[in-house]
């Protein structure tokens, strides 16, 4: 069945006519599979580089290559370098689009990356944490960075999933060990009361999902398998993953689809990761796919339910209203589910 048959209306036509050029570009590239030399795609790409939210975010970058504050770029949330680059990647930007993007990526490597492969909130290995590592591995890959340090970051992330080659937290003389936040294997995080964190898992698996299969080492393949099994270890629609409070009450934001996606994670991001990894047809995905379909309105569009209004560099629409960026996210997952 063509994937468009899952839609209640012609959302693609709406996206192609939307004023924001990044939306048109992503619709042509991701949904209609237009080749790089397609005139419409090229025109949308050019427009996105010179206007709309991509240009607005880049205009806020400092000449040295950072946003908001020099240094590792984790704070202030959600305007500093980490978040600006994540946002640019979610908007479809690339290092080929504007030289400033490559400059910012290099600044990030110089100030937030450690020799061991960690992206760090404070510039040292102690600042490594799953959600940050996953976000940045995904963002830099999506932006088109080709750098051996990114390969090293993926290897570190894979080790933190499987635990291979990493000593316990207490072995402080061993630099290849777990740390205070990144406390143990399989997404164990001190911020989640020393339990596996599904938010970190979603971001790590999303990053692995965009890494070409030819670049996945056996270690990375094992990490992907472990991460997928962790995500599927509960009913996706119940999201009863371990919580910081140790109760059985998942964060209600799981069920709110948003844009951009920074720290808070929604079920749609789990769907993105699993669909990209080839699990869209897995029976364990059926409930989540139904949930995604049910959220569309009569015109085949998805509303914005969670946002960072006033906290990041751009505004992306009103809550509870049809939203092109959320619609793009949902459509990409449903496209992967075509049978």
Check residue 112 and give its pLDDT. 99
In this predicted structure, the answer to whether residue 31 has a pLDDT above a threshold of 70 is: yes
Q: What is the pLDDT of residues 52-104, one digit of tens each?
A: 999 999 999 999 999 999 999 999 999 999 999 999 999 999 999 999 999 99
pTM: 0.97
Name the nearest CA neighbour of 113 among 154, 64, 167: 154
In this predicted structure, the answer to whether residue 229 has a pLDDT above a threshold of 70 is: yes
**Which tokens belong to 96?**
């080929």
Arithmetic mean of pLDDT, 281-289: 98
Arithmetic mean of pLDDT, 276-289: 98
Domains of the chain: 3-336 (1.50.10)
Note the Cα 71 to chain centre separation in Å. 22
Q: What is the pLDDT of residues 20-29, one digit of tens each?
A: 999 999 999 9
Which pairs from 18-26 meet CB under 8 Å and 24+ separation? 18/324, 20/52, 20/53, 20/324, 21/47, 21/48, 21/51, 21/52, 22/48, 22/52, 22/53, 22/54, 22/91, 22/92, 22/93, 23/324, 23/325, 23/328, 24/48, 25/92, 26/92, 26/328
Q: What is the pLDDT of residues 140-175, one digit of tens each?
A: 999 999 999 999 999 999 999 999 999 999 999 999
Arithmetic mean of pLDDT, 323-327: 99
Q: What is the mean pLDDT of the chain?
A: 97
Check residue 2 and give its pLDDT. 87
Check residue 246 and give its pLDDT. 78
pLDDT range class, residue 111, cuts 50, 70, 90: very high
Arithmetic mean of pLDDT, 122-136: 97
Check residue 339 and give its pLDDT. 58
Burial of 19 from C-beta contacts in 10 A (0-12 / 13-18 / 19+): exposed
């Amino acid at each position: 069945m063509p994937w468009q048959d899952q839609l209640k209306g012609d959302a693609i036509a709406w996206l192609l006519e939307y004023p924001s050029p990044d939306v048109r570009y992503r619709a042509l590239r991701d949904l209609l599979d237009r080749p790089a030399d397609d005139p419409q795609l090229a025109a949308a790409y050019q427009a996105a580089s010179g206007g709309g939210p991509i240009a607005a975010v880049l205009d806020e970058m400092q000449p040295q290559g950072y946003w908001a504050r020099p240094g590792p770029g984790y704070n202030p949330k959600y305007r500093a370098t980490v978040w600006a680059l994540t946002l640019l990647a979610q908007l479809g930007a690339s290092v080929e689009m504007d030289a400033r993007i490559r400059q910012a990526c290099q600044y990030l490597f110089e100030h937030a990356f450690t020799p061991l492969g960690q992206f760090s909130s404070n510039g040292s290995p102690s600042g490594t944490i799953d959600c940050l590592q996953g976000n940045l591995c995904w963002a830099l890959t999506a932006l088109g960075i080709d750098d051996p340090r990114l390969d090293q970051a993926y290897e570190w992330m894979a080790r933190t999933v499987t635990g291979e080659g990493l000593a316990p937290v207490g072995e402080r003389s061993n630099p290849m060990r777990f740390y205070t936040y990144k406390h143990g294997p399989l997404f164990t995080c001190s911020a989640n009361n020393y339990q596996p964190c599904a938010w970190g898992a979603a971001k790590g698996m999303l990053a692995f999902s965009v890494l070409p299969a030819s670049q996945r080492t056996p270690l990375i393949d094992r990490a992907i398998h472990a991460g997928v099994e962790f995500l599927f270890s509960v009913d996706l629609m119940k999201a009863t993953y371990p919580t910081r409070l140790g109760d059985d009450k998942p964060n209600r934001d799981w069920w709110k689809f948003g844009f951009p996606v920074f720290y808070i994670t929604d079920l749609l991001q789990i769907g993105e990761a699993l669909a990209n990894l080839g699990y869209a047809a897995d029976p364990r995905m059926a409930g989540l796919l139904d949930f995604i379909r049910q959220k569309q309105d009569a015109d085949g569009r998805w509303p914005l339910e969670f946002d960072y209004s006033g906290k990041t560099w751009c505004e992306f629409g009103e809550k509870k209203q049809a939203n092109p960026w959320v619609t793009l996210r949902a459509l990409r997952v449903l496209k992967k589910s075509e049978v």
